[in-house]
Amino acid sequence: MKAMVFDLDGTLIDSAPDLWMAANRLMGEADLGPIDLDTLKSFIGNGIGRLVERCFAYNDQRPANLEACIARFRTLYGEGRYAHTRLYPGVRDALEVLARRGFNLGVCTNKDEAPARAILEQLAIAGQFTAVVGGDTTAAQKPDPLPLLRCGALCGATPDELIYVGDSEIDAQTAAAAKVCFMLYTEGYRKLPVEQIAHDGAFLDFALLPPLVAVLGGAKARHAD
């Protein structure tokens, strides 16, 4: 294995509080009711456009000016400066261990590339990543395999040299479409039980990821022999 690519929201970072606050500011401006945090978490994963659409649908609305509402959400989200977004426990140490082992690291997310990069910088982990591919970087978004394959290529890896780490059904579908190995972080924003999400390995603590990757690599080497 040459590279590991990570999803962002719900995998490396808990971004839901900032997305939630921006969403409720937008709902307030539209004179619509607030959305609770757990419900907002269930809207995350398909990019900002779908998140905004789901927020209005939650209030039984579909605004005629949806694109303007999406643009307004982007503004509100950026104004919050991601103040409540945090790394999940153990992420920083795990990235350092994997980088020392020679993996090229990347991020493939449906979040727009600019805020994704800003958050990585703010959390002081941007330097760990060879590539960042966002929801507006390529012509497609996950679960289409294009963004993941682009990120893997930027990290110097073919699909069979790549591990994708994510937290959701969308990430699992993306990995399957790209024909790459998939590791499931179980403490993110998934909707289904773990056993209903296809994965090659699962972990609930980032301290467990480097040893799990080592075991997977050994198993792949034995299978190749």
Catalytic residues: 7
The token duo for 42 is: 């269930």
d(C-alpha 225, C-alpha 213), whole Å: 18
Parallel, antiparallel, or unpaired for β 13-14 and 86-87? Answer: antiparallel
Q: How far apart are CA 13 and CA 73, in angstroms?
A: 20
The answer to whether residues 112 and 134 touch, using CB atoms and an 8 Å cutoff, is yes
Whole-number Å distance between alpha carbons of 151 and 26: 32
Asked whether 150 and 132 are in contact (CB, 8 A), the reply is no
Burial 112-135 (b: 16+ CB within 10 A, else e): bbebbbebbeebebeebbbbbbbb
